[in-house]
Structure 1
Amino acid sequence: MHMKYQNKISDELVPILKAYTSQPAPPEGMPLQEVFRGALQQMAQQVAVSSTDQLRVENKFFTNSDGLETQLRVFTPLTETNPKPLLYWIHGGGTMSGLPEQEDSTLYNLALELDCVITSVNYRLTPENPYPKPLNDCYEGLLHVVGNADEFGINKDKVVVGGGSAGGLLTTSVAIRARNEGGPKILLQAMAYPMLDIRDTSDSNKEINSVGVWDSWMNHYGFQCYLTNVPESEYGKTVPNMIEDLSNLPDAFIAVGTMDCLRDESIEYAQKLAAAGNQVELHIYPGMVHVFDGLAPDAKASKDFWSARVAAIKRAFE
């Protein structure tokens, strides 16, 4: 029996999307990554936070395997708990754009609510730095933080990795790499609307191509940037939904909206992880688009999503 999702955006989102998509068009011929980079830098300026009496915000650096200094943005609640659990965060932006600061307000609030240290890694962007460079930065950053647990004030036995969109792609890729290489033990991979498949053949990929937030053509472009010069024969090692062995991975939390082009691949990945013997929690939010929680933080679904993710991470830390 073939089920069809209602192709309908939530009433709560309609006016917000209208405002979002009525912004002036970027200059003709500007590459998509430049458009997104500009938008996310602007967003970062709007939401950036600094230290308060409740929480310390600082930038630390590690040297990656190519010898480059790489930023980790660190959020540390100033509470008695010591050492604290770690939420290792990977920002979104289609792998081709984005920076840790664009999620400052989210991470500030998450750190306080979870009473954990959050580190957000400023990985190299594609297409200039295609796979495996962004993943190397994310994985090596995790090794650095866990390997310097005392400096970061973290309990290396309580590690969750998370992120949205491209951050979801890199989150699960870090988890797979940690399994393959005997790396840090990860208790949970927390993914919001993750990019999981370069094949754009699903219903949601075909149907959701004109919402204006993260349409399937943008997603395909982002994946092509990520996999620049990677032969198709290697996709089975790099594209989560094409990886054959998904056994022995951390528990997973996956959330996606029904009006997100990534809906079907998120659901498929959840099923594949579960079929491989992993614990999976899947949330599907009716009428919600990509990055709905960022666009409409006060929408009921956004609040539900926030609570569900916090609860899942807390359970993992317990």
Structure 2
Amino acid sequence: MDAEDRMDPQVRARLDQYVSIVGPQGLSGIGSITARRRKQAELAALRPGTAAHHDMEIRDVSIRSTAPPHAAVPARVYRPAGSTAGAPCICYVHGGGMVTGSVDGDDAKAAELARATGCVVVSVAYRLAPENPYPAAVDDCFAALSWIAEGRQELGIDPGRIALYGPSAGGCLATATALLARDRGGPEIAYLTLVSPMLDDRSSTPSTYVNTGFGAWSREANLQAWEAYLGEDFGTDHVSPYAAPARADDLTRLPPTYVDVGDLDLLRDEATDFAQRLMRAGVPVELHVYPGGIHGGESLAPRADLTVRVRARRHSALRRALRVQDRRPLEARNSRADRSR
């Protein structure tokens, strides 16, 4: 059975619809980053408008970066109804291969994360490559983390219960931010959640050659994204571990970490390799590899049984790690998502 035949059938059905609209290689088949962003915006305009989140308070903020050129870092804060002073906080770092993605594009995901976990969520609008290569994005994420820790009274959060959460490229930036926080002596991070993380610029593992070409994220797009982010360091041995965390030699003293990835994700090997290295370094790790899952499958098929199961387990782990009492209504806790845990 080949990789495409092993794909989750509900995800496969949505992928087939997607490539019929975008083209056989999806967005990653569009060679120009500018054209890819334009197409992504066109697709977003076709979706229903963002639902109003009446069950939470949402506000946009501007964070001043401490790194030159001290640019303002936009962010969006989500506070679920019923959250009290001293609530835990999740710093959410969106995906997009370092070259696309936005707070607006991940608005529904960030709101759902706040809703499902009961945490305050701060979603960071970091600068994108190639216009802003490394270290711009990780500087912005570290600035947001520092702002969260320093503004705990304004945010009404517990500085001892701050998590970093990143899908795909966001997983790279969340991990890099955790490395920076460790090496700079803070802020303290209680938990790190990595979803199909993009960690290794070398793209040399077997899964990067085999699990590609489905019409989701491709090996070619992955390499192009790293080149855009790393600039002249791409393809050399001069890449910093704060840029590509798979290159970090020392993984000790990182926070407890949750990693999940699909077994048909081209980033599968770097995610599982990194999880194993964390374990060997003495870091508590929860690792899940989901049969039939592809890179970006959750976004393609948000209501698929696989997606529901994956998110329910991830949200449950966050609530446990951040010591959140589940105050959702009984019917919500007994929903299909929670029954599938």
- 1:1-318 residue pairs with structure 2 within 5 A? 8-25=6-23, 31-42=31-42, 46=47, 48-52=50-54, 54-64=55-65, 65=67, 66-230=69-233, 232-237=236-241, 238-318=243-323
1:256–1:16 Cα change, 3 Å? same
SS of the residue 2:98 aligns to: coil
Partner Cα distance (1:261, 1:120) in 2: 26
SS of the residue 2:70 aligns to: coil
Which 5+ residue runs of structure 1 have no aligned equivalent?
none
Which 5+ residue runs of structure 2 have no aligned equivalent?
324-341
Partner Cα distance (1:74, 1:147) in 2: 15
SS of the residue 1:235 aligns to: coil
List 4+ stretches of structure 1 deviating above 3 A: 4-7, 24-27, 29-32, 39-51
1:19–1:136 Cα change, 3 Å? same
Amino-acid identity (%): 31
RMSD of aligned Cα (Å): 2.2
SS of the residue 1:144 aligns to: helix
Which stretch has the larger CA shift, 29-38 or 189-198?
Answer: 29-38
Partner Cα distance (1:182, 1:88) in 2: 18
Paired residues of 2:93 and 2:170 also in contact (CA < 8 A): yes
* Matched pairs, number: 313
- Letter in structure 2 aligned against 1:305: V
What TM-score comes out, normalization by structure 2 length? 0.86
Question: How far apart are residue 40 of structure 1 and its match?
Answer: 4.2
- Letter in structure 1 aligned against 2:111: Y
Partner Cα distance (2:317, 2:139) in 1: 27
Question: How far apart are residue 43 of structure 1 and its match?
Answer: 5.9
2:326 alignment partner in structure 1: none
Paired residues of 2:30 and 2:36 also in contact (CA < 8 A): no
1:122–1:43 Cα change, 3 Å? farther
Question: How far apart are residue 32 of structure 1 and its match?
Answer: 3.5
1:243–1:165 Cα change, 3 Å? same
SS of the residue 2:84 aligns to: coil
Partner Cα distance (2:297, 2:53) in 1: 27
Paired residues of 2:127 and 2:136 also in contact (CA < 8 A): yes
Partner Cα distance (2:41, 2:87) in 1: 30
Question: How far apart are residue 254 of structure 1 and its match?
Answer: 0.8
Question: How far apart are residue 34 of structure 1 and its match?
Answer: 2.0
SS of the residue 2:166 aligns to: strand
